[in-house]
Structure 1
């Protein structure tokens, strides 16, 4: 009887999981997740989401006669140990792109060779594998999105992997206990796991998606899918999501999924995406103003649309896509604070925080990354008036301003001074009181 190990990392699902499907070709399967102390405590929000996802995955495996095997320690050592203890001849793994994931893959390759265990790598983290489409003029990655999107759209997507109906664990193998569920930091986060993710996807697909291109920027309407945390952890297959959206002619949403793939192929080529500027000519002499940074982090800049976004981040572990752009542009282009400090703050709080998308988007906004117009600026007030014209989004997250009606909420400093002073809300940061700043 053949036994296979599948080392799960960011593919916490049973549907369209190529590594799991390949492992299930063996008679017995060890679905293994290793709680890696190297990655612990980076984000309490993501840790909670992860543990919820593991609990859901265990339930899925048990329904199919198997179980999720949980271990603590170095994932390479634990995968080798699981293979040797069960007599497995193969370890299956979904290929990933971060620097840490690729180092883990290289170590696992070396240890498998040493122990004469086969290692099989599989797709599944993206729709199109990073590196599968390359620029025509040479190079490993596209630096500009539009030509990548054309190549990505024209490429042949892999077939959706079959969902296993039954799993059989090797005899005598102890599954191990799931970790206690931590509290997290944000009180209103989404629930982790494939089951909640598929429910959210099903409900979202029932909507009329033909107007997604305009609707997803409506900050008050919140017409975004909110699927990003489930894609980040692999609770949902990006291919399955993209296929479902394409079948409903939701091309604008499919384009957003492509942006995700775009940054994964960038991160594969530039592993220091979180710490080094891709476009050094776009970098600048950044300010390191602890007071300004703290006001931004706390949602107390005095610019309501910025503060609303930063408070949503803390409350939900998630932020509207347009608010991410506005808050990041405010920190880097208006306050002149180093984009790496923004990367770290978002990475701490976001359920969907990962290296490719978080860091790639921050570099795009800061003018150090893949934007073809590195010096572009975003006027926060104009953005607010366009995408939250009645101030509904702002009043939702900045309760101090609930008494201000309509668009006036975006510029409370224009109120009579007696009214403004009674709001218990700060004016714009000292260096940005001049209203000319907002009109640039």
Structure 2
């Protein structure tokens, strides 16, 4: 009987999972594997969310006759070890594009070659994979969003694949223990993790998606999808999401997500170095001002409300992200890296591409064609929180 291993990474779902679908089609026995890598220093919020994602994934696999195999250690070593143990012919996983993921994929390719294992990467993290679009003027990626958006809309999407009806594990394989969901030091009001919770939130959002374009900047109305954590962990497929939600403006946000993934693939130093060529950075050092910003006590109500939402929920409204990031970099003149690191500490959806890409956009070191753009916090509050409902909610 043919056996395949699927190494889950940022695709913690059964529905429209190309790697899992291909393995179930090619092999009679499939090992769904997740490796907890101790070298990844994750935040309490994301550790809790991940634990819930894995528990939900295990339950869904068990309902189909399978299970989630959990190991601890180096993901390359553990994946190859499990493949040897079960006599697998190959390993499949979703392609990813951070420096860590790219290095993992290179090492896995070398290890599989040495073990005579087939390795296959699948597109599943983005709608349009990085590298699929090349600028007409040359270069390996698009530097400006608008021409990318025009080209992105014309790309043929991959086929959405179904949920496997049955998953059969090899006999005698120890499945391993899931990480504990009880984590200290995080936000008190974090949304639950997992594909099941993601599908429920998507169902609720679809019913009101028609008003997304008019309402997604309304701070008090809170009419954004709040699907970003589920996209980050792969509880939802971005390809199926695009075809499911009837809102052109929401689809444009998915394009922004893809845009920064192709920027990161072309510029892996995005979290550390200014993307804009020739940028001169002159940031102040003011620990007291930075701490006040982090804790939501700057005295600027819209900024403080956003920062306190972050601490309470592990999430921040997108409009508030723009305002708080602009305040740090353009008003306080503090380094965008400090802000991006703080967001990464608390946000459930702190994707390397989007978190650091957006911070550079606001700071004027990244992809914004208007690098000196400022978001006036008082004007933003009057426009997007005119009755003060958002500020009252988080400052009370």
Q: Same fold (TM over 0.5)?
A: yes
- 2:35 matched residue in structure 1: 34
Answer whether contact 1:282 1:375 (CA < 8 A) is retained: no
Equivalent residues of 2:12, 2:233 under 8 A apart? yes
- Separation in structure 1 between the aligned mates of residue 331 and residue 211 of structure 2, nearest angstrom: 32
CA contact (8 A) 2:5 2:88 kept: yes
**Which of 251, 266, 269 in structure 2 is aligned with 1:254?**
251
The runs of at least 4 aligned residues of structure 1 exceeding 4 Å deviation read none
Query: Match for 1:319 among 308, 316, 320?
Result: 316
1:183 CA displacement: 2.2
Note the 1:403-422 alignment, pairs <5 A: none
In the other structure, the counterpart of 1:232 is: 232
C-alpha distance after superposition, 1:386-424 (max 9, x if no partner): 00001010010011xxxxxxxxxxxxxxxxxxxxxxxxx
Provide the secondary structure at the position in 2 that maps to 1:311. helix
Structure 1 residue 366 and structure 2 residue 363: aligned? yes
* SS across alignment from 1:70: strand
Distance 1:365 1:190 in 2: 27
Task: Tell me if the contact between 1:44 and 1:182 (Cα under 8 Å) persists in the aligned partners.
Answer: no
Distance in 2 (CA, whole Å) between partners of 1:270 and 1:341 is 20
Paired positions, count? 394
Displacement after TM superposition at 1:280 (Å): 4.2
Cross-structure match for 2:332: 335
**Alpha-carbon displacement from aligned partner over 1:207-256 (angstroms, at most 9, x marks no partner):** 1x3331220000000000000000000000011111112xx2x1000000
**Contact 1:282/1:374 (CA < 8 Å) preserved in 2?**
no
The answer to whether the Cα contact below 8 Å between 1:90 and 1:118 also exists between their aligned partners in 2 is yes
Partner Cα separation in structure 2 for residue 289 and residue 281 of structure 1:
25
Residue 131 of structure 2 is aligned to residue 134 of structure 1 = no
- The 3-state SS of whatever aligns with 1:24 is helix
Q: Any idea what SS the aligned residue of 1:119 has?
A: strand
The aligned residue for residue 22 of structure 2 is 22
Q: How does 1:384-403 map to 2 (within 5 A)?
A: 384-399=381-396
1:124 and 2:132 correspond: no
1:71 matched to which residue of 2?
71
Runs of 5+ unmatched residues, structure 2: none
CA contact (8 A) 2:47 2:183 kept: no
Q: How does 1:34-433 map to 2 (within 5 A)?
A: 34-40=35-41, 42-184=42-184, 185-207=186-208, 209-245=209-245, 248=246, 250-399=247-396
C-alpha separation in 2, matches of 1:260 and 1:45: 21
Deviations 1:99-156 (A, max 9, x none): 0000000000000000000000000000111111110111111000010011110110
Whether the 8 Å contact between 2:19 and 2:92 is mirrored in structure 1 is yes
Normalised to the residue count of structure 2, the TM-score between the two structures is: 0.98
Equivalent residues of 2:322, 2:362 under 8 A apart: yes
Q: Is the 8 A contact 1:281 1:368 kept in 2?
A: no
Q: Alpha-carbon deviation of 1:85?
A: 0.3
Deviation at 1:281, TM superposition (A): 3.4
The alpha carbon displacement at 1:162 in A equals: 2.0
Tell me how far 1:372 sits from its aligned partner: 0.3
Deviations 1:240-282 (A, max 9, x none): 111112xx2x100000010000000001111111000001434
| Alpha-carbon separation, structure 1, partners of 2:349 and 2:223 | 18
TM-score (norm 1): 0.89
2:33 counterpart SS class: strand
Hey, what's the Cα distance between the residues in 2 that align with 1:162 and 1:149?
Answer: 28
